[in-house]
Amino acid sequence: MVTLQTTQLRTGGLPVKEKRSAKQRAGTLGLILPGSIGLFVGFVLPLIVMIRMSFNQHGTGGQLVETLTFENYGRALSDPFYWQVIGNTLWLGLLCGGLAVILAYPIALFLTRTTSKWKGVLIALAIAPLLTSAVARTYGWIAILGDQGIINGFLMDTGLLSGPIRLNNDMPGVIIALVEILMPYAILAMISGFGRLNNSLEEAAGTLGASRFKVFMRVTLPLTLPGVFTGFLLVFVLSISSFVTPRLMGGGRVFILATEVYNEATQTLNWPLASALSVILLILFGLLVAGYQQLTKRFED
């Protein structure tokens, strides 16, 4: 009450208060504007151009014909090959997301729990790979997984294999490399998502008679699931949109939407189809992410 009175006294009534909030609004607008302009020029405009492009026609000899047609969508959606590409892309995302989360989970749990004075250093080490470019790390995996690479070399030297198995230049190599490359993201997402977990909750469950396994299933896992979901979603999204690793390690055998879009855009020069595929990718995974978020929200409640 007292504060309200003094405020009114100082500002001379309500109109001034409104003026101040208008000023505040202007300030908020001023802060939002640069980012919004950047987003509009860098994302919204190109998106509009791309969507428009997807209704153009791919004429004879790769000619670009400005028109308004759905034939690119028709072609993409009626052709089993593109359905397979969409399927491959989804599969790659699910597998990489799943594997990255499984591998990163114990690490993230350890990093969250450790009371070591090196905790900061350990976390930095876990995410340090992000400081190296994905291209460099992909070439590293090529060296490891290649026919004369470390793994095949070891398997052949020890006589377990007579000839090299194809790890590089196919889906397995792409998955191995992508999982490793994207794992730091999963670790980061999980560490930040494990906030609700604390030692005394697990200890409390222990004193109440829960074995280690039951503590994990009933307390640790449910409390860390939001972090797991975020980590999975992040790796899933990053792998379905990944291009460099599938391209460098796929050996031309891995057909996913990103490489297809690249091929259509830069090799066959079929920009309308490339745009249509991009729009399909956008819609498909926009829906997936939205559905996923609904699901996790329901779970968290």
Partner 1 sequence: MSTNRRLTRNKRLLTIGASIVAMGTLASCASSGGGDADGQTTITVLGYTAIFEDNFTQAVIEGFEAQHPEYNVEYVPSQNSAEMLGKLRSEASNPTVDVAILDQSVANTGIQEGVFAQLDEAAVPNLANVVDMGLNAEGYGPAMTFDNLVLLVNPEEAPEEISSIQDLWDAPDNSVAIPAAPDIQGIALTALTANNLGADYQEDIQPAIDELALLQPKVTSWDPQPDVYQTVTSGSAQYAVGWNARGQVFSDQSDGRLQVVQPDDGIAFQVNTINMVEGTENAEGAQAFIDYTLSKESQESFSSAMFYAPTVKNAELPEEVQARVADPQDPNIVEIDWIWMADQRDAWTDLWRRTVIGG
Partner 2 sequence: MTSTAEQMHLSVQNLNKTYPRTEVPAVSDINLDVQQGDLVALLGPSGCGKTTTLRMIAGLLEPSAGSIRVKGKEVTSTPVHKRGMGMVFQSYALFPHMSVLDNVSFGLEMRGGGRRGNRKAAKAALDMVQLGHLAERRPAALSGGQQQRIALARALAIEPTLLLLDEPLSNLDAKLREAMRHEIRSIQQRSGTTTLLVTHDQDEALDMADKIAIMENGIIQQYDAPQEIYEHPTNKFVANFVGKANFIPSTSVRQVGEGRYSIEAGAFGDLTVPGVVGIKGDRAELVLRPHRVRLMADGEVAADRPRARGQIIASSYTGNVVSYEMQSSDNDRVIRIDQLSHPADRLPVGAEITVSFDPEDAYLVAEG
Q: Which residue's entry shows tokens 């280690």? A: 212
Residues with Cβ within 8 Å of 210's Cβ and at least 6 positions away in sequence, in order, are 218, 219
> Considering the rule CB under 8 A, would residue 207 count as an interface residue with partner 2?
yes
What is the contact mask toward partner 1 in residues 37 to 66, using x (rule: CB under 8 A)? ---------------------xxxxxxx--
Compare residues 205 and 274 and give the one whose CB is closer to partner 1.
Answer: 274
Q: How far is CA 42 from the centre of its chain?
A: 20
- Structural contact between residues 183 and 100, judged by C-beta atoms closer than 8 angstroms: yes
Given candidates 5, 6, 115, 148, which one binds partner 1 under the rule CB under 8 A? 148
Q: What is the dihedral of CA 291, 177, 92, 275, to 10 degrees?
A: 80
Given candidates 51, 64, 130, 223, which one binds partner 2 under the rule CB under 8 A? 223
Given candidates 97, 146, 193, 226, which one binds partner 1 under the rule CB under 8 A? 146
CA pair distance 151, 40, nearest whole angstrom:
47
What is the contact mask toward partner 2 in residues 171 to 200, using x (rule: CB under 8 A)? -------------------------x-x-x
For β-strands 64-65 and 57-58, DSSP reports them as antiparallel
Residue 285's H or E segment, with its range, is: helix 271-300
> Considering the rule CB under 8 A, would residue 219 count as an interface residue with partner 2?
yes
The residue count of the chain comes to 301
Residue 82 identity: Y
> Considering the rule CB under 8 A, would residue 162 count as an interface residue with partner 1?
no
Q: Which does 86 bind (CB under 5 to 8 A by kind): partner 1, partner 2, none?
A: none
Instruction: Please give the residue ranges that form the binding site for partner 1 (CB under 8 A).
Output: 58-64, 81, 142, 146-148, 163-164, 166, 169, 247-253, 255, 263, 265-271
In the complex, the residues that contact partner 2 under the rule CB under 8 A are: 196, 198, 200-201, 203-212, 214-215, 218-219, 222-223
